[in-house]
Amino acid sequence: MALLKPSLLFSLARRSIASSQTLSHWNKDWKPGAYPKTEEERIAAAKKYNLLPQEYKPIPNDAAYPAGDYPDLKPYSADGRDPHYPWDYPEYRRNFNEAVPEEFNLYGFDRINVEEKLRYPMWKMLLGFVCIAGGIVVLCDLSEDTFFMPAMPRHMPAPGVTYYHYPSSSSDQH
């Protein structure tokens, strides 16, 4: 009956689900470690994130949101990466075990492209907008008082204002 002990069953099930022996398949296992202080800790953290020690630079411990030993990678967008490279995860344009920026979820295909190159420079787009919108304003300004009925304002009774009929006008008969 010792085989049916709950802890043993749990560890057996976990081993059968997990294909690797490291058993890091839960969110607490993916939590970054403490900020590396010594050189050995730095090298160990770089190896953990599959980075070379010289390109590993942890997020500063005094940042607004310190993240332990997580590497401070420059953000890149999936849109900006090579579409012809055989990625392991083409939907993310990411390779297996590749370290990703801290806010990876912001830079997918469905989010912003931080490396976007504009088709036209910003000053050209602004100039185009100002020319078209300003042209409309100028046209409206020029066309003021160019289209109206040849009639004076309506006769509305008001205190202190007198209006008159015209002789033999039909307004006299009403």
Binding site for another protein (CB under 8 A): 145-157, 162-167, 169-174
- Region of 102 please: left (phi>0), alpha (psi -120 to 50) or beta: alpha
CB nearer another protein, residue 121 or residue 160: 160
- Of 98, 75, 74, residue with least CA distance to 85: 98
The residues with which 94 forms a beta bridge, in sequence order, are 89
Minimum CB distance to another protein, residue 157 (Å): 4
Instruction: Return d(Cα 30, Cα 151) in angstroms, integer.
Output: 81
CB nearer another protein, residue 30 or residue 166: 166
CB nearer another protein, residue 121 or residue 153: 153
CB nearer another protein, residue 17 or residue 149: 149
Minimum CB distance to another protein, residue 158 (Å): 10
Residues 143/112, Cβ–Cβ less than 8 Å: no
Minimum CB distance to another protein, residue 77 (Å): 55
Minimum CB distance to another protein, residue 167 (Å): 7
The residues with which 106 forms a beta bridge, in sequence order, are none
